[in-house]
Amino acid sequence: MMRKFWSIAITTVLLMACASLPRYTAPFAEVDHNGDGVIEWQEFKTHYPDSDAKAFLEADHKKNGEITPDEWQFFVETQGP
């Protein structure tokens, strides 16, 4: 009985944690605040204030400090459920 309780409790905690993760679904142009055709760290952080640098670096495939429209589209499409 305790095993079932702990299984349910852990599953609930994990689901709540996943639900609180930021979802990166905004259109590219909405995040590219200055309209220069790339998303820089400050624009990303302004649009997603609860995010961290790990997400930005994951989206920045070229690792040049800028996210292009193609990089953003790939990042958005490959996020987990």
The one-digit pLDDT tens for each residue of the chain (81 residues) are 667 656 564 554 444 444 445 789 999 999 999 999 999 999 999 999 989 899 999 999 999 999 999 999 999 999 866
Alpha carbon distance 75, 32 (integer Å)? 15
Judged by DSSP in three states, 40 sits in: strand
Compute the residue count for the chain: 81
What number does CATH give the domain 24-81?
1.10.238.10
User: Which pLDDT value is given to residue 23?
Assistant: 85
Look at residue 79 in the predicted model and tell me its pLDDT.
83
> Domain residues of the chain, as ranges?
24-81
